[in-house]
C-alpha cells in the first residue's frame, strides 16, 4: 500500500476535491483505494454522499484509541473505493493526542493494518498544521500539495515547506513531496499565467504537468454526494483529474 497525504495548511486549495477525485479515478481503473477523511469538517465524507452523523465509528474514535481503524471502514458508491469517515469531534481528538506518547505516529500504526488490503491510501488533511496534519505526514510515503495559482496561496507554499522541513528533521520519516498541483486554474485571469510561471520556475519538475482547471461541475458534484466521474464524466474537471490520476501513478512507480 502506498500512502499519500493531500496537504496544504491553507483552506480552499482543492485538497478534498483532489483526494476524492484521485481516489475515485484509481478505483475506476481497478485499484483498491482507501480514502481517510482527516478533516473535522468531514468534507470528503459528505462529498461521497455519506452522513457523518450516521457513522458509528469514525477516524475521531480511532485517533482517541476507542476503536481500531478496521471498524471505521465503509464502502462507497464506487466499487474499490472505501472510506474512513470523519466527524467534527475529530477536532477534540487532536487535543486528546497532545498528551499522548507516540502521538505523531498514531495514524501510521493504525494504517499498517491495511498493508495488503489496498493499493493506495489517500489522506485528506485539514487546513491547519495541527497534530492531525503531522500524523498524516508521518503516515505517508508521499505528499501532494494542491495550490491555487494566486499570490497569497503561493506565499503560503513557502511556509508549508518550512513546516515539512521541520517535521523531517524532528520525526522518524522520509516522506517526500510527490508533486505540487495547480488547482482551480482559470486561464482567463491575467494573474494566473504569471503565477503558474513563477510556480514552475521555482519548483521545476515537482509541479505536475496536468493542471486542474476551474470547472463548475467540480464545484457542484459534492452537493449531490457524487464524485465528478459519476456526476459528469464528460466534464473538463473529470478529464483533468483522470489525466492527473495517470500522472500520479507514473510518479509513484518511479518512486
Ligand X SMILES: Nc1ncnc2c1ncn2[C@@H]1O[C@H](COP(=O)(O)OP(=O)(O)O)[C@@H](O)[C@H]1O
Phi–psi pair at 86, nearest 5 degrees: -120, 170
Give the angle subtended at the CA of 211 by the CAs of 219 and 143, to the nearest 5°.
90
Nearer to ligand X, 107 or 184 (CB): 184
Contact present, 122 and 19 (Cβ < 8 Å)? yes
CA distance 248 to 4: 10
- The SS3 call for residue 86 is coil
Work out whether 226 is an interface residue with ligand X (CB under 6 A): no
- The SS3 call for residue 97 is helix
Nearer to ligand X, 8 or 130 (CB): 8
One of 10, 15, 106, 108 touching Mg ion (CB under 5 A): 15
Number of amino acids touching ligand X (CB under 6 A): 19
Nearer to Mg ion, 43 or 130 (CB): 43
Those residues whose C-beta lies under 8 Å from the C-beta of residue 96, and which sit 6 or more positions away, are: 63, 64
Helix and strand totals (H; E) in the chain: 11, 7
Report the site for ligand X in 116-145 (rule: CB under 6 A).
127
Nearer to ligand X, 171 or 216 (CB): 216
Report, in Å, the least distance between residue 66 CB and ligand X. Answer: 26
Report the site for Mg ion in 174-213 (rule: CB under 5 A).
none
Report, in Å, the least distance between residue 254 CB and Mg ion. Answer: 28
CA distance 101 to 118: 28
Q: Which stretch binds ligand X (CB under 6 A): 11-19, 64-72, 98-106, 109-117?
A: 11-19
Query: By the criterion CB under 5 A, which residues form the site for Mg ion?
Result: 15-16, 43
Query: By the criterion CB under 6 A, which residues form the site for ligand X?
Result: 8, 11-17, 43, 127, 183-184, 212, 214-215, 218-219, 222, 237
Amino acid at each position: 500500500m502506498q500512502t499519500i497525504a493531500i496537504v496544504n495548511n491553507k483552506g480552499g486549495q482543492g485538497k478534498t476535491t483532489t483526494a476524492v477525485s484521485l481516489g475515485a479515478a484509481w478505483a475506476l481503473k481497478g485499484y483498491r483505494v482507501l480514502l481517510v477523511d482527516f478533516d473535522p469538517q468531514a468534507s470528503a465524507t459528505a462529498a461521497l454522499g455519506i452522513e457523518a452523523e450516521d457513522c458509528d465509528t469514525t477516524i475521531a474514535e480511532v485517533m482517541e484509541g476507542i476503536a481500531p481503524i478496521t471498524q471505521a471502514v465503509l464502502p462507497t458508491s464506487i466499487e474499490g473505493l472505501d472510506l474512513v469517515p470523519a466527524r467534527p469531534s475529530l477536532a477534540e481528538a487532536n487535543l486528546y493526542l497532545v498528551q499522548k506518547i507516540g502521538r505523531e505516529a498514531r495514524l501510521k500504526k493504525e494504517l499498517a493494518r491495511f498493508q495488503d488490503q489496498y493499493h493506495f491510501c489517500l489522506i485528506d488533511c485539514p487546513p491547519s498544521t495541527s497534530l492531525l496534519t503531522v500524523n498524516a505526514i508521518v503516515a505517508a510515503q508521499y505528499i501532494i500539495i494542491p495550490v491555487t495559482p494566486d499570490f497569497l496561496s503561493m506565499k503560503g507554499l513557502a511556509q508549508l515547506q518550512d513546516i515539512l522541513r521541520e517535521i523531517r528533521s524532528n520525526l522518524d520519516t522520509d516522506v517526500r513531496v510527490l508533486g505540487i498541483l495547480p488547482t482551480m486554474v482559470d486561464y482567463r485571469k491575467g494573474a494566473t499565467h504569471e503565477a503558474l510561471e513563477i510556480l514552475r520556475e521555482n519548483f521545476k519538475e515537482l509541479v505536475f504537468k496536468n493542471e486542474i482547471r476551474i470547472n463548475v461541475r467540480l464545484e457542484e458534484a459534492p452537493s449531490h454526494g457524487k464524485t465528478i466521474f459519476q456526476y459528469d464524466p464528460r466534464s473538463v474537471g473529470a478529464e483533468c483529474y483522470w489525466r492527473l490520476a495517470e500522472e500520479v501513478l507514473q510518479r509513484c512507480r518511479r518512486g
